[in-house]
Amino acid sequence: MTAARTSTPNAAPHAAAVDEERREPMLRGISQSVKDRALPLLRPGNTNCGGCGMSIGLNFLSRAIGSRPVEMVIPACCGIVTAGPYPYSAYGAPVAASAFASAAAVATGLAHVARLNGEQTRVICWAGDGGTYDIGMATLSAAAERDEDILYICYDNEIYGNTGGQRSSATPLGAVTSTTPRGKTGGKKDILAIMAAHRIPYAASISLAHPADADRKMRHALDVTGFRFLHILSPCPTGWKSEPAEGIELVRLAVASGLYPVIEVFGGREIEVNVEPSFDHGALERYFESQGRFRGTKDDLAAVKTAIAEQWDHLCRHSKGGVR
């Protein structure tokens, strides 16, 4: 558990501090303080690279959380390095650092303790694609199947970023990583479909290029009870070999080309498409050309287009038809 560091030197009056401790007894003296809640979730001093999509995602989440009390569980991804060294933390909320395999199980425990204490705390897992698609899948699937009252958010940079950029099962076709030096030969797992297949109350994909849609979904996911899953395509300039300033534009191109469907799934069955792509071939080309990880893999574009067409054929046949 990393302690939430207050950045103001003025100590709160003793009585108020004791009172606060009483309200969040399980966290003892390291509870989220009223002062912390007024600060953003991601505070200055964090270790994220410039242009990291995860930073943007955390800032979106911060706005959606507002004054709700939250606790976060973060496995061993870039997101836990973000906090900085113990006992300091760049997070404006209490964070439990978990092993990869147990993030959803740890979050389950925290959610049950909060309920037993009669607290309104919302428990959020914040995990990378390696921790979600691969290493944490067993406990994630189990928590979803039990419909635990947790919000699981996967920021997907499509690699094991923290350990030097190895491929994960979220790495897309053609991407060069440190373990796929000639480009990955297979495509991504469809994580949203996998999670929706657990018939959870809510699953959605978030586009960092569509802030209003993202905010609506994050607020909804924080409000609903039961297991909620959000997926964020998260540009990683370091691993994608892209310009730090172009992250949002890359997401916009991924959405416009149909590569990244922006959808939500209710109860595992009801699909709504939130942003209609233009299926512009130019957008797909620019998405690939702007990232060094796709350099020399242009031949894969035809295969990518086929995969996009197949996915949208499926989505159109199963969605309610309306685009918000």
Ligand X SMILES: Cc1ncc(C[n+]2csc(CCOP(=O)(O)OP(=O)(O)O)c2C)c(N)n1
Question: Which CB, 92 or 130, lies closer to ligand X?
Answer: 130
Which of ligand SF4, ligand X, Mg ion, none has residue 49 at its interface (CB below 5 to 8 Å by kind)?
ligand SF4
Contacting range for Mg ion; rule: CB under 5 A; set: 127-135, 194-202, 221-229, 246-254: 127-135
Contact between 168 and ligand X per CB under 6 A: yes
Phi, psi values for residue 142, rounded to 5° = -65, -40
Contact between 176 and ligand SF4 per CB under 6 A: no
- Look at the alpha carbons of 50, 53, 54, 56 in this order and tell me if their dihedral is positive or negative: positive
Contact between 48 and ligand SF4 per CB under 6 A: yes
Question: What is the b/e burial string over 33-48, where b = at least 16 CB atoms within 10 angstroms of the residue's CB?
Answer: beebbebbbbbeebeb
Tell me, residue by residue from 71 to 110, as one string, x for binding to ligand X by CB under 6 A and - for no binding. Answer: -----xxxx--------------------x----------
Contact between 172 and ligand X per CB under 6 A: no
Cβ 244 to ligand SF4, closest distance in Å?
Answer: 8
Phi, psi values for residue 160, rounded to 5° = -85, 85
Tell me, residue by residue from 256 to 295, as one string, x for binding to ligand X by CB under 6 A and - for no binding. Answer: ----------------------------------------
Say if residue 87 is preceded by a cis peptide, omega within 30 of 0.
yes
Helix axes 247-256, 53-65, angle to 10 degrees: 80
Residue nearest Mg ion by beta-carbon distance: 128
Asked if residues 51 and 237 have their Cβ atoms less than 8 Å apart, the reply is yes
Q: How far is residue 132 from each of residues 52, 158, 312, measured CA to CA in Å?
A: 19, 11, 24
Asked if residues 1 and 94 have their Cβ atoms less than 8 Å apart, the reply is yes
Question: Which CB, 33 or 82, lies closer to Mg ion?
Answer: 82
DSSP annotation string for 133-183: IIITHHHHHHHHHTT-S-EEEEEE-SSBGGGT-B--TTPPTT--BTTBTT-
Give the count of residues interacting with ligand X (CB under 6 A). 17
Q: How far is residue 127 from each of residues 33, 72, 88, 319, measured CA to CA in Å?
A: 24, 10, 20, 28
The CA distance from 263 to 205, in Å, is 6
Q: Which of 32, 89, 157, 319 binds ligand SF4 (CB under 6 A)?
A: 157
Contact between 239 and ligand SF4 per CB under 6 A: yes
Which of Mg ion, ligand X, ligand SF4, none has residue 238 at its interface (CB below 5 to 8 Å by kind)?
ligand SF4
Binding positions for ligand SF4, rule: CB under 6 A: 48-49, 52, 54, 78, 157, 161, 236-239
Binding positions for Mg ion, rule: CB under 5 A: 128-130, 157, 161
Binding positions for ligand X, rule: CB under 6 A: 76-79, 100, 128-131, 135, 157, 159-163, 168
